Chain A
Amino acid sequence: MDDQDPIESEPLTPAPTTLALRDPRVPATLDDLAALRGQAIEVVETRATVLETLRKRGIRLTVPEDWLLFRNAQGRITGYLSDAGAGRLRDLIGIEVFDVEEPRRLMAGDGQSFMYVQRASGRAKTTGQVVEKVEGGRASTEDFCKDDTGAVLDLKVKKACRANVNGSIVRELAGLKNVSEDDLREAWKGTGKDLAHANRGRGFGTQDERLGAARAGTPDVPPPTCPHCQTPATLRQGRGGKGAFYGCRHWDKAGHPKWTLDLEKWLAQAKASPADGPTPEDVAADNRLDAEIAARDARGAK
């Protein structure tokens, strides 16, 4: 045979072994799998298991506060992983960020607000998957910088923009763009992490309600007042199986001891007759009266 025969001179690539193909980083074609015959299914299952374990392990590395929950019209709840949370699992998945472009500042129509956008590419070492020119961005009108102005605002938005690019790449490559609440609960099983501590977004009432004001399901009775500083107590959800309770949110600033009252106890008191003492309604009315007197005094002083 001629030495120049193109078939003979083509370099031979050895077929990956069964053991190697169990690793999801090793590219596998249908031909490779077909050549394995009976072992192909086991190899595919192993690759899927590795990826599933990685995903679960990634979620386990996050904390509930890293997640923003959304509820759709059908009541289905999904979690969105924050940029800070994405940073926790970047090393686990082995996600590299490269071809980072300089951030661009875009002005809004009002001439004051602005946003930074930035692009970068990413590669996951554990899967070999690559995403190119992923864009991230943050705006000066967002909550995290609402009290800032000037150079501080500019630097904060720019910094957050880079974090968002990194976060977007990690979410994409780790398969954590939208995670169901069941997946979150399953991954956190046995860790003590509780979905109740996740942040709540669209589908969970008004912004005030999401930030701790009265929620749907809150009892229709006025809150008790703190016996130390006489301010209305705040309803909180108990952790670790403990029921809801009222607490004073001024205890540390006002310098008085912590004070709590179980919701059930307060509801029981509310059902009690007026002869047993003031009802919650009476207490609330007293509070309102005190507030009105204070406001009137304040007006007088002016």
Chain B
Amino acid sequence: MTPEAATGVALADQVRDQWAKWLLVQRRPPKAHPDVVYASGWRACTRRMFYDVTVPDQVVPFDAETLARFQRGEDRERDLLITMSHIGHAQRPGFAIVAQQFPVALDGRRRRQVIRGYIDGLLRPEGDHRGGIPLEVKTWSTNIVERLSSFDDVIENPWTQSGAYQLLAYLLGHNVPFGYLVLDRSGIPKLVVVELTDVNLQRMETFLARAEAVLDHVEAGTVPDFIDDPAECARCPYFGTACHPPLAAQATQVLTDPDLEATLERWWALREAGREWRGLDDQVKQQLRGVESGVAGHFAISGRWGKQTRLDLPDDLKRQYTVADPKGRFTLDIARL
């Protein structure tokens, strides 16, 4: 320890700096793999998939903080599989975790291998001597994982959908009907079931076709078109380095109806008064509930009880009839500037 590291704060700083340097020293630029698309390489943009296989070194290298997160992910993957293995041995009916880093490949047209990957492990239930259920361990941000409870959640989230496609590729390549995404979290990990349904087989068709298109572009020396989605470009690590796309934009609607403007002005003017009235209305109704006949100052009060009909359904039945409409609710926020 150097003399400068005499105080606790300085020592802590020094260890942290050394940790960061150690991670950065081990950092290696990713290598191009123009002959195949990795199973983890699903991207919404085909051009980005193309860059992943041809110029992955055109991404700004990860900083120490991100490298530390990756290392934690690798450590957790190893530890989770070991723990699952122990559990499988100890419990009945038991299971085993076998074939870690099991290779899987998918061929496209012309018998060309287009997608390749390695399954994290196979879960083999007791009594099954041949098969195994593919497992893909993910250590995504805890905030994201807490919002994922089904396969649909995983595949609809732009930050996690490549993991969903990755496991689908393994299921197709290994020819098994279902597998598990093992999602690490602070408590017991989540096991999300992924099945090769018709919809998911269709998704894999798309993945294979796009992977094939990427390899065709590599062979022809051409580049796929830009994607017309600025949100995707904003997430893309090649934006500004290898890729310089034009950016489209939504524009705010300009509503020119003078009647609407007048309505809004009046609405704004009455807003505070309306809020106050609603508050008082609630208070009055609460205070006078049950008063069938009364007088207060200048006010005569009369009320009456009436029959109320309501459906008192058990929760599981309610859930059965609950429908989620993505455009069912519309929230307005209006400010006068």
Contacts and interface: CB of A to CB of B under 8 A. Distances in A.
Nearest to A25: B254
Given A96-B247, A152-B60, A166-B247, A294 B8 contact: no
B256 A102 contact: no
Nearest to A123: B249
B337 A60 contact: yes
Contact of A162 (B13, B240, B251, B258): B240
Contacts of B6: 294, 297-298
B252 A297 contact: no
Contacts of A163: 240
Given A22-B258, A56-B337, A250 B249 contact: no
Interface size class of B (residues with CB under 8 A): 35 or more
A231 B251 contact: no
A152 B66 CA distance: 15
B246 A98 contact: yes
Contacts of A294: 6
Given A155-B58, A298-B6, A254 B12 contact: yes
A118 interface: yes
Given A254-B12, A298-B3, A94 B244 contact: no
B52 to A, nearest CB: 15
A229 B247 contact: no
A91 B249 CA distance: 5
Q: Which of B230, B241, B252, B254 has the most CB of A within 10 A?
A: B254
A161 B9 CA distance: 38
Instruction: Tell me if B's interface is mostly helix, strand, loop or mixed.
Output: loop
A126 B252 contact: yes
A33 interface: no
B274 interface: no
B256 A23 contact: yes
Interface in B212-226: none
B59 interface: yes
B240 A161 contact: yes
Contacts of A97: 246-247
A57 B120 CA distance: 49
A250 B252 contact: no
A222 interface: no
Contacts of A200: none
B12 A92 contact: no
Contact of A22 (B61, B230, B250, B256): B256
Given A94-B251, A100-B244, A159-B60, A253 B9 contact: yes
Given A25-B254, A155-B59, A254 B9 contact: yes
Given A151-B61, A253-B9, 11 more contacts: A90-B230, A93-B249, A93-B252, A96-B246, A100-B244, A125-B251, A126-B254, A152-B60, A155-B59, A161-B240, A255-B8
